[in-house]
Amino acid sequence: MSNEAVKSKLSPTYHYKDLEKQAQKKLTHEVFTYIQSGSGNEETLRANEEAFKKYKLVPEFLHDVSKCDLSISVLGQTFQTPFLLAPVGHLGAAHPEGELAVARAAKGYQVPYVASTVSTYTLEEIADALGDTPRWFQLYWSKDSELTVSFVQRAEKAGYSAIVITIDTPALGFREANLTNQFFPVREGYGLANYFQDPIFRSRLNESPEENWDAAIDELVKITFHPKLTWNDLAFLRKHTNLPIILKGVLHPKDSIRAIEYMVDGVIVSNHGGRQLDGAVASLDALPKVVEAVNGKIPVLFDSGIRRGPDVVKVISLGADAVLIGRPYVYGLAHNGQDGVEELFNHLLTDIDTTLATAGKSSIRTCQLPGFVNIR
């Protein structure tokens, strides 16, 4: 879509904080807090956004920017947008159509979608709604290894083209706000579908989820995370899938080097949007060292704290191949379902396009040229 066409659809609700307010009006206090909050004292949550202010763009002019190319390539696939949709679980809590509304919006704009293990709809239903849109599957590697394999094989069959293993969640972060509210999305019925529809999961239960819902939830909670998981376990998954494997949650450059040693295909620099280790380094501050350590051997993606077009451009300029967005699209969904997500895409794409044009760049792929981004 051209910049002009996109601009003609803009409405004033977007400024990130406004959109957050619109979402807040639609959601219960408990659900809004679940989405918006971080872990602990929320130091990392705040640091993620603050970090962007340290980096400044240095434009160069008198280049033809009448048309800006926002497409990028990752693992041999070309994506029309430089951002993917980060895996966000339990989207049924934000809107009854949850992941399906997001997937329909993603299809219209060809925004790649990373479906969460703890989605409200099954990975197959999400794939149907996405049609030919590029998609990856995010895996919470279960303590039950047969269930893990089942998820991966179902994803492969449903046309997902990469497995994203979230490594920063050996346990759930200390999310005080949710503890105070006593809000746990799975116990409210969100994020169960991939488990409850899975034949391996069902085979583990004495009674079906329809017969004994509480027991099924208890089993799900017991097996979702796998604190004993180590680098050596990656070989097990390799035996069961030919899909590329990407690790989400890399912050230390040593982990990116290990990823290469263990034949991983890509990494996502992320601190889970400040929801896991409070006090962890801001994602943006971790990025340059990871990019240096990886040295172009595998793709480096990024999330946590992206709110606007210049944020996307800064991250790509610092050496990332692509970015993922989380809360912004969830707020769009909560605000107005599929339309709200489309509105968010419109704004973000226009903002990125305008950022490139006003920086004198006709393609997002040229942002990594030396001297474009400075630290203050």
Ligand X SMILES: CCCCCCC(=O)C(=O)O
Ligand Y SMILES: Cc1cc2nc3c(=O)[nH]c(=O)nc-3n(C[C@H](O)[C@H](O)[C@H](O)COP(=O)(O)O)c2cc1C
Residues annotated catalytic, as ranges? 272
Among residues 135, 154, 226, 275, which is the contact residue for ligand X, using CB under 6 A? 275
The entry of ligand Y, ligand X, none that residue 81 binds, CB within 5 to 8 Å by partner kind: none
Q: Tell me if 38 contacts ligand Y by CB under 6 A.
A: no
Q: Tell me if 179 contacts ligand X by CB under 6 A.
A: no
Residue 208 annotated in ligand binding = no
Shortest separation between residue 92's beta carbon and ligand Y, angstroms: 12
Shortest separation between residue 116's beta carbon and ligand Y, angstroms: 3
Q: Tell me if 20 contacts ligand Y by CB under 6 A.
A: no
Residue 138 annotated in ligand binding = yes
Q: Tell me if 10 contacts ligand X by CB under 6 A.
A: no
With b meaning 16 or more CB within 10 Å and e meaning fewer, what string describes 232-248? ebbeebeeeeebbbbbb
Among residues 38, 40, 82, 89, which is the contact residue for ligand X, using CB under 6 A? 89
With b meaning 16 or more CB within 10 Å and e meaning fewer, what string describes 271-291? bbbbbbbbebbbbbbbbbbbb
Residue 40 annotated in ligand binding = no
Q: Tell me if 224 contacts ligand Y by CB under 6 A.
A: no
Q: Tell me if 178 contacts ligand Y by CB under 6 A.
A: no
Residue 227 annotated in ligand binding = no
Which of the residues 255 through 274 are near ligand X (CB under 6 A)?
272
Residue 339 annotated in ligand binding = no
The entry of ligand Y, ligand X, none that residue 186 binds, CB within 5 to 8 Å by partner kind: ligand X
Q: Tell me if 38 contacts ligand X by CB under 6 A.
A: no
Q: Which residue stretch of 75-83, 129-137, 209-217, 304-312 sits at the interface with ligand Y (rule: CB under 6 A)?
A: 304-312
Q: What is the 3-state secondary structure (H, E, C) of the chain?
A: CCHHHHHCCCCCCCCHHHHHHHHHHHCCHHHHHHHHCCCCCCHHHHHHHHHHHHEEECCCCCCCCCCCECCEEECCEEECCCEEECCCCCHHHCCCCHHHHHHHHHHHHCCCEEECCCCCCCHHHHHHHHCCCCEEEEECCCCCHHHHHHHHHHHHHCCCCCEEEECCCCCCCCCHHHHHHCCCHHHHCCCCHHHHCCHHHHHCCCCCCCCCHHHHHHHHHHHCCCCCCCHHHHHHHHHHCCCCEEEEEECCHHHHHHHHHCCCCEEEECCHHHCCCCCCCCHHHHHHHHHHHHCCCCCEEECCCCCCHHHHHHHHHCCCCEEEECHHHHHHHHHHHHHHHHHHHHHHHHHHHHHHHHCCCCEHHHCCCCCCEEEC
- Phi then psi dihedrals of residue 72, to 5 deg: -135, 170
Residues 308-347: x where in contact with ligand X by CB under 6 A, - otherwise, as a string: ----------------------------------------
Among residues 40, 326, 337, 340, which is the contact residue for ligand Y, using CB under 6 A? 326
What's the rounded Cα separation, in Å, for the pair 164 and 99?
A: 17
Among residues 224, 270, 304, 317, which is the contact residue for ligand X, using CB under 6 A? 224
Residue type, 204: R
Among residues 6, 31, 118, 293, which is the contact residue for ligand X, using CB under 6 A? 118
Q: Tell me if 81 contacts ligand Y by CB under 6 A.
A: no
Residue 204 annotated in ligand binding = no
The entry of ligand Y, ligand X, none that residue 224 binds, CB within 5 to 8 Å by partner kind: ligand X
Shortest separation between residue 303's beta carbon and ligand X, angstroms: 12
What's the rounded Cα separation, in Å, for the pair 117 and 282?
A: 25
Which of the residues 104 through 123 are near ligand Y (CB under 6 A)?
116, 118
Positions that interact with ligand Y (CB under 6 A) = 35, 48, 86-89, 116, 118, 138, 166, 248, 270, 272-273, 275, 303-306, 325-327, 330
Could you list the residues that contact ligand X (CB under 6 A)? 89, 118, 172, 186, 221, 224, 272, 275
Known binding-site positions for FMN:
87-89, 116, 138, 166, 248, 270, 303-307, 326-327
